[in-house]
Amino acid sequence: MKKAFKYTLAFLWSMVNLIPLVMVVFGSFKNTAGIYLGPFVLPESWNFTNYDTALLRANVLNGIGNSFLYAILSVTAIVLLASMAGYVLSRHHGRLINGVYIYFVLGVLVPVQATFIPLVATVAKLGGQNSVLTMVVIYVTFNLPLSILLITGYMKGVSREIDEAARIDGCGAFRTFASIIAPISVPALATAGILAFINVYNDLIFANLFISTAARQTVTQVINGFSAQYNSDMGATFAALVVAILPMIIVFMCFQEKVIDGLSTGAVKG
Amino acid sequence: MRVRKALRKGFVPALMLLPSMALIAIMFFYPIVDTIKLSFYKWNGILQSAPKFIGFKNYEVLFRDEAFWTSIKNVGLFLLQGIFIQGPIAFILALFISKKIRGIRYFKFTYFLPVVIPLTAIGIMWKFVLNPNWGLINAAIRVFNPAFNVDFIGNPNIAIYSIVLVSAWVYVGLNMIIFSAGLTSIPADLYESAEIDGATGIRKIGYITLPMMMESIKVYIILMITGSLKTFDLVFVMTRGGPNEATMVPALFMYLETFSYTKFGYGATIATFILVTGLIGSLIANKYLFARE
């Protein structure tokens, strides 16, 4: 009895999370008149007109492509740089290394907003708006601190005897890192990478600061612009939302354990 | 000789740290110094026109700006919500998912789902859900009360509460994970010995679970403080701070003053305020979060 009550409550909360999303999916198949009938009415027919509008007029696909481009390039650089830094931080001691660690901790804690104005001015001065390179450098910088802390935490748990054995076999610090410690730490690298990927894909504010041309816009910019411009065409907006959200749902479905368990071990260690 | 050896030994590790440190120094920490400096200037953001030094004028204006105080009040609402709504729900959910239950993957998936969806999409979605005429919430309440019609985000008296609740909806899943991490680290024999002493349900939570989870609760509170200060996307997408600036938050306030009204010096002042408040929170965070390193 008590158990049934618990499961009912748990199920209700899962519905609180799912129903708005289901409403979006239903809405994406309705015309405006159908949406006015209310959210509980099923779509009359499952036609894809709205998806046509969203994909052709709003260019959601182009936005997804751009977001993926920024995210993949950034994540590659983040994992590379953060794993190197994490290795050094996990293998060395002393005041200097402690100072470096606190330096990255500060990077997690300091509000990013405090950098916007000088960054915008500098990027404008260098003519770096609307450039893939600018976006990647920005995303890498602001995702590095958390990734470094996550990876350092994991690498600290990797036995030092492995390093010793490698040294005896004649491996230098970098070789030991690249061919032994990094491969062992793949679970942490994956968690850090996926979290960074989600962060970059979901970003709106940096994109707004540095990207203005339609060709380079991120998916979040595209759907935000679309929903403002076509706010009378709700069905199409719903379709745009579905297309924009779908990649993240797929990523999350594939890597659910990595994301959730990685975060929770990070939270305990942190 | 020894110095050279030590240098050589430290050379590779230094090289491995350097790119990350340099990026953060150039793109993150240096601009912050610039922001603080700019907060004492008046500047329209045009590169050719020089900023004009005006001392503490921007700060005087800031503390008399009504939108600023609204944004502070709203941060307070986000915090209160975190403590009284989001925290308890996240805790109950964490209790549930930390046990051996059927369908755990389904529950974890649905609970965490809002965290991975772009906030932009969530904002647009909830604008529809909260619509007075054909939105989900109004329609649901009209099943019981046909006359019900409330404009949840158009009415300046309630708009901020709607956004605050949407934010709770988004982040409950994340905090559930933080709490469940704390829960699973509690040794099981503590509960067993408590049971032998006759402790049951609620008492076990009060005497063992909560005290043993203080670390997670601290992490959670610190994330709440920094997270509330950083709120931007949801408000930007749902109301842009309106109606009548009723839903203004500091980050958006800074963004609009700077880039919409081209008051770059004033914007820098708001940014400096966010920085200082955030750092005070960070100092607390530093004390608790990383004390065990």
**Domain at B201, CATH number:** 1.10.3720.10
What per-residue confidence (pLDDT) applies to B162?
94
Nearest to B120 among A27, A198, A224 (CB): A224
Evaluate whether the domain defined by A61-221+246-269 bears CATH number 3.30.230.10. no
Higher local confidence (pLDDT), B101 or B67: B67
> Higher model confidence: residue A136 or residue B46?
A136
User: CA of B166: which chain A residue's CA is closest?
Assistant: A17
For chain B, how many structural domains are there in total? 1
Q: Would the CB atoms of B128 and A27 count as touching at under 8 Å?
A: yes
**Higher pLDDT pick, B140 / A88:** A88
Tell me what the mean pLDDT of segment B230-245 comes to.
89
B53 phi, psi to nearest 5 deg: -70, 130
- Compare all CA atoms of chain A with the CA of B29 and give the residue at the minimum distance: A115
Closest Cβ opposite residue B12 in set A20, A174, A263: A174
Contact flag A263-B111 (C-beta cutoff 8 Å):
no
For chain B, the distance separating the N- and C-terminal CA atoms, rounded to the nearest angstrom, is 34
Supply the pLDDT for residue B85.
92
Q: Please state the domain extents for chain A.
A: 61-221+246-269
State the pLDDT at residue A203: 93
Q: Residue B5 — pLDDT band, cuts 50, 70, 90?
A: low
**What pLDDT does B237 receive?**
92
- B246 in a structural domain: yes
**B49 domain residue, yes or no:** no
Interface predicted TM-score (ipTM): 0.88
User: Which DSSP state fits B261?
Assistant: S
Q: Which residues does chain A have within 8 Å of residue B35's beta carbon, measured at their own beta carbons?
A: 114-115, 117-118
| Domain limits for position B136 | 58-289
Averaged pLDDT of chain B: 86
pTM of the model: 0.89
What tens digit of pLDDT does each residue of B119-132 get?
A: 999 999 999 899 88
Local confidence band at B167 (pLDDT 50, 70, 90 cut-offs): very high
- At residue B292, the pLDDT reads 47
Residue A235 contacts residue A32 (beta carbons within 8 Å) = yes
**pLDDT tops 90 at residue B278:** no
The per-residue b/e assignment along B172-184, b for 16 or more CB within 10 angstroms, e otherwise, is: bbbbbbbbbbbbe
Nearest chain A residue to B17, by CA? A85
Task: Give, for all 270 residues of chain A, the pLDDT tens digit.
Answer: 678 888 999 999 999 999 999 988 988 888 877 777 777 777 777 778 888 888 887 788 999 999 999 999 999 999 999 999 999 999 888 899 999 998 998 888 888 888 999 999 999 989 989 999 999 999 999 999 989 988 998 898 888 888 888 888 888 888 889 988 999 988 889 888 988 999 999 999 999 999 999 899 999 999 998 888 777 788 888 899 999 999 999 989 998 888 887 777 765 554
Give a yes or no: residue B101 inside a domain: yes
Predicted confidence (pLDDT) per residue in B187-222, tens digit: 777 777 777 777 777 777 777 777 777 777 777 877
Q: Are B74 and B248 in contact (CB under 8 A)?
A: yes
Distance in Å, alpha carbon of A62 to nearest chain B alpha carbon? 16
**Could you give phi then psi for residue B42, rounded to 5 degrees?**
-110, 130
